Structure 1
């Protein structure tokens, strides 16, 4: 069974974590395949938006503990962190295309933090997010200590990390951890609608917006104003900007090409 399933349709590339028998827990083969598929979709000009979701009942239950407790299979924590997880997180932030985490079930440990590193996180109403690390004496990894406090605040994030609280999708929306949740029976339709909407938008401008927000995570106000100046000039030089203005002035629907 392939650990990752990928499809491309109407400008949307969908990556599905495919270890449902293990709640899509992360092992070496899955992480390397995910890196490969992210690279492939990033380079595919026909793909204008990316969705990451899970097969079966879970989004991703985090690290496969069978792997790390096996003398034959365990790659070691240094390899797991530097070669498996970190390259995924950096790809999610650097790929110049909108990336949706469609959380279809539990997202625990590294699985939760991979989701939170995406651009837009949506979830089934019955989905949940768990910083499961403290239960086995570890710290949040996969960018968890970076993104979580920025999303929900230092105090709340630290408490959730220490206590390992289960956060339901409605609670996650309320605290600003994720964008929206949808009823389970309409979730797939909502994911498709959102992905299709993004794919039809001026994706060059969306890429520059993502770049600007990434910069804002670490820079000063003065630095960020300079970044906005630079990137706005780039956005104003795109074909999509000209198309958007022309469509607005002529009261018609724009047809963006991501150029």
Structure 2
């Protein structure tokens, strides 16, 4: 696991050490994404995804915001210097893939403002728990850019092409209540991080091999035809039916006992 850095904190949940909590840690700047933060976040998420002792991940932001996207002050310096624009490939794409393709559940705890790439990261997660007062926006068009961090696909898949286009073109702010009505988030009754941790603890005790297959199958199913989807499901089931977790869960069901999942 990556050690703590000024920009990103990586901790294990005390109640369930199999849950890793990754916190973007620039609260004074609403977790705006500098190169330092992007590199630390990318490395922390990739390490958590690869660590077999981590069975669930919670991604959140320190302070009053989840993440407001790119730090435009640093970005302006890059533009003035004429530096080659490589941050999408080096940072945003890898962060998004580390979240979406992690072979374990990733939960975004949206504690406040969630904008631009921050929204992309949240939508790349498998589940999103939002504070009641959180606000959201795409924001890209307002600075003359298109979406990044997979937002053009994730938003369209979740809310439909028409609404996604509207949100991206107009960049209008929407509330946690709007997001919940559209199926993007569940609103926490209290602190978002506590609700996210409760979900993560339950998932960490669950069938992580099945979760990995489910995540992969949903991504595949979103962009392929029915015959390909059925063939992919067959492959996934064939892999899982040979696992000790599946055999043990079937025996536990027949014995009217609670199954124990060990990820094998």
What is the TM-score of this pair, normalised by structure 1?
A: 0.94
Q: Could you tell me which residue of structure 1 aligns to residue 11 of structure 2?
A: 7
Deviation at 1:71, TM superposition (A): 4.8
Name the SS for the 1:132 alignment partner. Answer: coil
- Gaps spanning 5+ residues in structure 1: where? none
CA displacement 1:174-203 (0-9 Å, x = unmatched): 11223x1113x3433311210001100010
Q: For residue 130 of structure 1, what is the aligned residue in structure 2? A: 137
Tell me if 1:217 matches 2:228.
no
Q: Secondary structure at the match of 1:69?
A: helix
Q: Does 1:174 align with 2:178?
A: no
Matched residues, number: 257
Q: Structure 1 residues 225 and 257, CA, compared in 2 at 3 Å: closer, same or farther?
A: same
Match of residue 230 from structure 1: 235
Structure 2: give runs of 5+ residues left out of the alignment. Answer: none
Match of 2:125 among 98, 118, 121: 118
Q: Deviations over 1:22-43 (max 9, x none)?
A: 1001111111111111122122
The residue correspondences of 1:12-161 to structure 2 (distance < 5 A) are 12-71=19-78, 76=83, 78-161=85-168
For 1:25 and 1:103, locate their aligned partners in 2 and report how far apart those are by CA, in whole Å.
14
Any idea what SS the aligned residue of 1:59 has?
Answer: strand
Give me the CA root mean square deviation.
1.7
Q: Structure 1 86/76 Cα, relative in aligned 2: closer, same or farther at 3 Å?
A: farther
Instruction: Answer whether contact 1:32 1:84 (CA < 8 A) is retained.
Output: yes
Change (3 A) 1:17 1:28: same
Residue aligning to 2:257: 252
Question: What is the distance in 1 between the residues matched to 2:191 and 2:121?
Answer: 23
Rounded Cα–Cα distance in structure 2 between residues aligned with 1:103 and 1:140: 20
In the alignment, the residues of structure 2 paired with residue 169 and residue 255 of structure 1 have an alpha-carbon distance, to the nearest angstrom, of 35
- Of 146-155 and 240-249, more deviation after overlay is shown by 240-249
